[in-house]
Structure formats: C-alpha cells, structure tokens
Structure 1
C-alpha cells in the first residue's frame, strides 16, 4: 500500500485550506477545516466540512469528529501577544477511540503525507479524546509556546512565589516556512540509560527487543528516563503500561519476507486513557523532539488502550508498511 494520499477535488481542498490561512477580512477570528478519508480509503482524503465565516467557532469543528474514524483538521485561533492579536494555527490528528487497531496501522503510514499537504502549524494535537480540544486548553498551550503565559510557582522550601518566564524574558526560537512563523520543538533532557537502551534494541545481536521510556515521576517537564526493557513481545510490553502515564517504546520485530528474516522497528507513543488533558497537550508539543531521540522507525503507532497493542495489530501494520 502507498504511503501517500491523493486529494478528491483538489481545487476545493486547497481553497478551504487557503481560506483558513488567509488574512483577508477579519484578522481576529476562529475558522477551521475538517478533513477525512473518502469511504475510509487510507490513500484518498477530502474536505468533510469547513467554516470561515465571521461567526465560526472551533466547537463546530469538534462536533464533526467521529469516534470510528481517523480525521484531520487545521484550526485558526488568536492569542494576545504584547496587547496585539496574533494568529496561530493548530493541526489536529484525530484518531477515534472506536477505530480498530488494524485500521490505525493502515492510516498511520499515510499520516506524514497528510500533514505535509495541510502545511505547517504552531501546535500539533494528536488525540482520541474530545477533552483535548477544549478551547481554553488550546489557548493556554499556544500562549505557553509563544512565551506569553505567565507562571507563578510556589517555592516549596521558602513558601515564596517564584516567577516563571514571560515573553520578555525568553525569545521564541522560530523558523519561517511558507510564510508561517513556527516555533521549534522544545528540547528534552534524556537519561543515558534511555540512549543505551535504544542502542541495544537497534543492535541485531542484542537479545533485547524493546525499551520503554517515560518522564521522571510522570512530570513532562522532567527528563526522559528508562521505564523498562525486555526481550519479549507485545504481551510483555503491555505489562508495564499504565492508564495514567505517558510512555515511548521502541520495539524490534522480525518478520519473514520471501523466506528471509527482516528486521522492522516500531515506535509507539503510549498516552494512557486517564492522562490529564493538559499533560496530553504538552506531550503533543514534544512529539518531534522525542522522535529525534528514538531515531527512524519503519512505522509509528499512537495508542491509549492496552487492547490495541497486540502481535496481530503489529503484524497488520507491518504488512501495510511493506
């Protein structure tokens, strides 16, 4: 199966995307476009709905999401920076909670192509929960990524407020792509045991077949540390997953292709069903940085339920990825 997608009615598609990105008319407005697969064909996408009217609301986008489908969206929203409205774009990768694990693999291999077509954004949200698409939560994430969200933390030792960074203390690191200002992903500190574990899994002579890493004490602001590792399969991996934790797994799987053993690497992002919406949003901003740490994989999977992680679902994804 191809890893790229085609567009049904390309003119309509590009017009809808352009209308969300356009600054013509009112600068301060919410607008959106909802994209889906034609007849659930992984290699064909189309516009499901869009709204660029003065009264558009992101809630209209959310109401169009379906639990048994993989869908995508581009949202336009504004945040206030130095007392001025600044437009931000949000990319949504919606994986419905009722999408079968085998279908997730089929859609996962084309996700990169879909995202490239939609274009750059300031914030990426990959989710299967409507709670993650709360406008207040989205606004807060955009403000934090812009450096304008002012945090006041309590100092545990002295009981005194400790001011966090504001926009005037830290400047965004940004790059310009096709006319859109996009902040680079946040850096992540990594424990040496994680890097060693990744190296061991990638070594065909090493008996280890997987390594899992998570944030220290479950705090996404802290470094990535090794949670566990093993020489078994998905059944062994499922044992270390928790419903309230975020975990990243690199899994080495051997398949037989034309009677020849072939190694495939699978990168799995685990976000448990009981992880708080704010934590999920922060995880989405670290996605690129984490993938850089684990390096190239033959395919990636996003999971939130243990029932999704089986040898059958992995085999299905592997057969689709070729």
Structure 2
C-alpha cells in the first residue's frame, strides 16, 4: 500500500473523528524520505482556514477536515470533507499516480460526506464547502443559503 495506513495517519484520523479530541484536520503528503509512500505531514486544531496555508503548489496532498456548521440557532452539524489537492506545479509523472494512490487514501480516510478536488486555494472557500455539505447531508434548514 502507499503508506496511507501508517499508525500516525490512523491515529490522526481517529482524532479528527473524535468528539473528545481538539484535532480538526490532518494532512497527508509524500513521505520525506521513502519513495512512493505517503506520510502524515501535519495536523491541527483550527478549521479549514488553518489547512489552506499548508497546501503547496508543487505537491499532491490529501486533507481530511472536520467541518462544523449551524443548521439553525439550536443545532450544529459535524461533517467531514476529503480534499484531494493537486498543486498547479505538480509534475505530470506525479499526477499520474494520484488515481491509484487516492484509492488507497480513501480506503483509510473512508468516512466523509464530500470529496473536494482542488488545485487552487480559491477552490477551497469554506462557504462553498459548507453549501456542498448541506446538500450532501439531506435536510437544509436554511433554504439553501450558506
């Protein structure tokens, strides 16, 4: 496998999914020393806005993000998004590995409501992702407004 099942990635994934942990996201990228392997690159307690600065234009990266949003004044929803980042300066040979590699990643980071394919940080507007999560989540108490 690509290394997506490493203990560090599995532990971070469990932390993001846990209601008892402050971890809100994780980032998987090429292993710094092992060829064709993935590793945990970063994790954090902020939201999507904390993930975005970690995305690099010359890398393929996978972010798993916990997104919390309000349905109405009395309730909030928690959903998960998988971001498949292919930076604009990624070499063609590296791009070619993404399809099979992302299948491995999706087996490990398997519980998510939406997948967001992105190559520009503009593709990751939080309001747009929340709107997609609302649609994916069924009931929309805001009449489609973000």
**Aligned-residue offset at 1:250:** 0.7
Q: May I ask how many residue pairs the two structures share in their alignment?
A: 135
Deviations 1:202-244 (A, max 9, x none): 001211110111111387612x211111111222111111000
- Aligned residue for 2:97, secondary structure, equals helix
Deviations 1:72-91 (A, max 9, x none): xxxxxxxxxxxxxxxxxxxx
Give the Cα–Cα distance (whole angstroms) in 2 for the partners of residues 267 and 218 of structure 1.
25
Give the Cα–Cα distance (whole angstroms) in 1 for the partners of residues 24 and 69 of structure 2.
13
Residue 197 of structure 1 corresponds to 12
**Aligned-residue offset at 1:298:** 0.9
Deviations 1:154-197 (A, max 9, x none): xxxxxxxxxxxxxxxxxxxxxxxxxxxxxxxxx22243211111
1:1-322 alignment to 2 at 5 Å?
A: 187-189=1-3, 190-217=5-32, 221-222=36-37, 224-258=38-72, 259-322=74-137
Residue 136 of structure 1 corresponds to none
Is the contact made by 1:211 and 1:226 (CA closer than 8 Å) also made in structure 2?
Answer: yes
- Aligned residue for 1:320, secondary structure, equals helix
Larger RCO (CA under 8 A, 6+ residues apart): 2
Report the TM-score when normalising by structure 2: 0.85
Is the contact made by 1:243 and 1:271 (CA closer than 8 Å) also made in structure 2?
Answer: yes
Flag structure 1 segments of 5+ consecutive residues without an equivalent. 1-186
After superposing on structure 2, the runs of 4+ consecutive aligned residues of structure 1 that deviate more than 4 Å are none
Question: 1:219–1:307: structure 2 CA closer, same or farther, 3 Å change rule?
Answer: farther
- Aligned residue for 2:56, secondary structure, equals coil
- Aligned residue for 1:217, secondary structure, equals coil
Give the Cα–Cα distance (whole angstroms) in 2 for the partners of residues 242 and 292 of structure 1.
24
Give the Cα–Cα distance (whole angstroms) in 2 for the partners of residues 211 and 305 of structure 1.
19
Flag structure 2 segments of 5+ consecutive residues without an equivalent. 138-146
Report the TM-score when normalising by structure 1: 0.40
Deviations 1:55-76 (A, max 9, x none): xxxxxxxxxxxxxxxxxxxxxx
Instruction: Work out which of the two has the higher radius of gyration on C-alpha atoms and give 1 or 2.
Output: 1
Give the Cα–Cα distance (whole angstroms) in 1 for the partners of residues 131 and 42 of structure 2.
25
